[in-house]
Amino acid sequence: MDYTPHTEEEIQAMLEKVGVETLEDLYAHLPEEILNPPIHLPDPMPEWAVLEELSRLAGENLPARKAFLGGGARFHHVPPVVQALGSRGEFLTAYTPYQPEVSQGVLQATFEYQTMMAELTGLEVSNASMYDGSTALAEGVLLVLRETGRMGVLVSQGVHPEYREVLKTYLEAVGASLGTIPLEGGRTPLVEVPEEVGAVVAQNPNFLGALEDLAPLAEAAHRAGALFVAVVDPLSLALLKPPGAYGADIAVGDGQVLGLPLGFGGPHFGFLVTKKAFVRQLPGRLVSETVDVEGKRGFILTLQAREQYIRRAKAKSNITTNAQLTALMGAMYLAALGPEGLKEVALKGVYMAHRLQELLLTLPGVEAFTPKPFFQEFALRLPKDPLEVRRALARRGFHGATPVPREYGENLALFAATELHEEEDLLAFREALKEVL
């Protein structure tokens, strides 16, 4: 099974037309030394056997439907309606909409996505998506460096450690320097912003789940001529003050919490939203409304001079493939829930997370670490190595206690609760945790 339609007769007729005798002849001009290398792959299988083998592999995993794991990805409901619409063949198998006349589906849906992300963040312009939250952050900071012409970046320790690592990789590439603002009491303190710093970055809710008032830091950044980049949880923005309202020039984040399957970490999507003033520095695709020759409304890729396939070495980024489909599914999720529905989902998780903390703090040796109020996750100090705790919980069929890197302190672990948890789930989890501590 190779999905090719050719019959033997057709292959013969086509070979004749192109003037060669065999399929091998099509490769005759390649250097002989490299042709037909020995390659060892498993034998082909019919599709039912592939599915069977995959089911076997899937069976070696313990899916974590009602998990209490946090750390930048959480268990939320994945609405079947979004999955069904997002897997329509036309959305799934289209390319980047370079021919707008036959791509209004993707283009209009992207325009709507851009609108929703701008609304959530309180900013003006969203691109069509980035790979994930971490690369959205890196690209957002690079945008700032281009805009400010500075090469210094100051990032709060409250930003997801993996995001900071990715940022570091990207910044080293362009020779920019990266400083860190250590958390104090689980929150980002107000610091002086040195002159060489172009971008100040903080996360809200931060990696430990705590809500932060970032307005003073944004103001400090602006006073120093820098721009402020906020890393945000899009679900939280149903409830929380949007970054645009506390002075962020750029908001970035990851869309997984908007109803996307966790998929062991991806694909989700990253978003990057900013002010109109910076639009010409924006990496990635952008869709604009326009009209056709008959005056009918239509949508089209715009400001393409920023992009690699036009601008090449002078492009704002090398990004081409992004996370279009998962971003559209995020938009479908937002539309499916609406402002009220989204707020309810946010609130329920906040409530359950606080309740969970309360319950877990009754266990001996467990101490609070993340200050209140937090969003849907929080860190606790455990009396044991969190790696061991996580494993012992898994043996009991529970997933919880995401180990927190040592830089934040010893024996810390993240716990999350969402709209999928009810009181009895929390109680059962507490019992399990009690047993393993």
Which positions lie near its own copies, rule CB under 8 A? 46-48, 51-52, 55, 65-66, 77, 79-80, 84, 87-89, 419-420
Question: Of 364 and 427, which has the nearer Cβ to other proteins?
Answer: 427
- Torsion from C-alpha of 214, 129, 379, 219, nearest 10 degrees: -10
Question: Residue 177, interface with other proteins (CB under 8 A)?
Answer: no
Select the binding partner of residue 296 from other proteins, its own copies, none (C-beta < 5 to 8 A, by kind).
other proteins
CB of 48: closest distance to its own copies in angstroms?
A: 4
How far does CA 355 lie from the centroid of its chain?
27
CB of 157: closest distance to its own copies in angstroms?
A: 34
Residues 119-148 that bind other proteins (CB under 8 A): 119-120, 122, 124-126, 128-129, 131-135, 142
Question: Of 17 and 362, which has the nearer Cβ to other proteins?
Answer: 17
Question: Of 34 and 364, which has the nearer Cβ to other proteins?
Answer: 34
CB of 323: closest distance to its own copies in angstroms?
A: 22
By three-state DSSP, how is residue 227 classified? strand
> Taking Cα atoms as reference points, which of 294, 275, 322, 298 lies closest to residue 124?
275
d(CA 120, CA 108): 18
Select the binding partner of residue 32 from its own copies, other proteins, none (C-beta < 5 to 8 A, by kind).
none
Question: Residue 88, interface with other proteins (CB under 8 A)?
Answer: yes
CB of 372: closest distance to other proteins in angstroms?
A: 9
81 Cβ neighbours under 8 A, 6+ residues apart? 332, 336
Binding mask 229-248 for other proteins (x = CB under 8 A): --------xxxxxx--x---
Question: Residue holding tokens 């930003």?
Answer: 159
253 touches 233 (CB < 8 A): yes
> Taking Cα atoms as reference points, which of 171, 240, 170 lies closest to residue 204?
240
> Taking Cα atoms as reference points, which of 242, 267, 259 lies closest to residue 341?
259
CB of 314: closest distance to other proteins in angstroms?
A: 7
Count residues near other proteins (CB under 8 A). Answer: 207
Question: Of 36 and 362, which has the nearer Cβ to other proteins?
Answer: 36
Tally of CB atoms within 10 A around 367: 13
CB of 420: closest distance to its own copies in angstroms?
A: 6
- Identify the DSSP state of 153: E
Select the binding partner of residue 155 from its own copies, other proteins, none (C-beta < 5 to 8 A, by kind).
none
Write the burial class of residue 82 (CB in 10 Å: 0-12 exposed, 13-18 middle, 19+ buried). Answer: buried
> Taking Cα atoms as reference points, which of 391, 373, 374 lies closest to residue 382?
391
CB of 363: closest distance to other proteins in angstroms?
A: 20
d(CA 432, CA 437): 9
Select the binding partner of residue 36 from its own copies, other proteins, none (C-beta < 5 to 8 A, by kind).
other proteins
d(CA 144, CA 228): 9
Question: Of 17 and 65, which has the nearer Cβ to its own copies?
Answer: 65
Starting at the edge strand found earlier in the chain, the sheet holding 125-126 runs: 125-126, 270-274, 250-254, 227-232, 197-204, 152-156, 177-181
Select the binding partner of residue 133 from other proteins, its own copies, none (C-beta < 5 to 8 A, by kind).
other proteins
Question: Residue 185, interface with other proteins (CB under 8 A)?
Answer: no
Question: Of 253 and 360, which has the nearer Cβ to other proteins?
Answer: 253
Binding mask 306-345 for other proteins (x = CB under 8 A): -xxxxxxxxx-xxxxxxxxxx-x---x-xxxxxxxxxxxx
Angle (nearest 5°) at CA 240 between 236 and 245: 125
CB of 148: closest distance to other proteins in angstroms?
A: 18
79 touches 336 (CB < 8 A): yes
Residue 421: phi and psi, rounded to 5, are: -105, 140
Among 58, 277, 361, 427, binds other proteins (CB under 8 A): 58
Residues 68-87 that bind other proteins (CB under 8 A): 69-73, 75, 77-81, 83-85, 87
Question: Residue holding tokens 């083998």?
Answer: 53
Among 143, 211, 226, 257, binds other proteins (CB under 8 A): 211
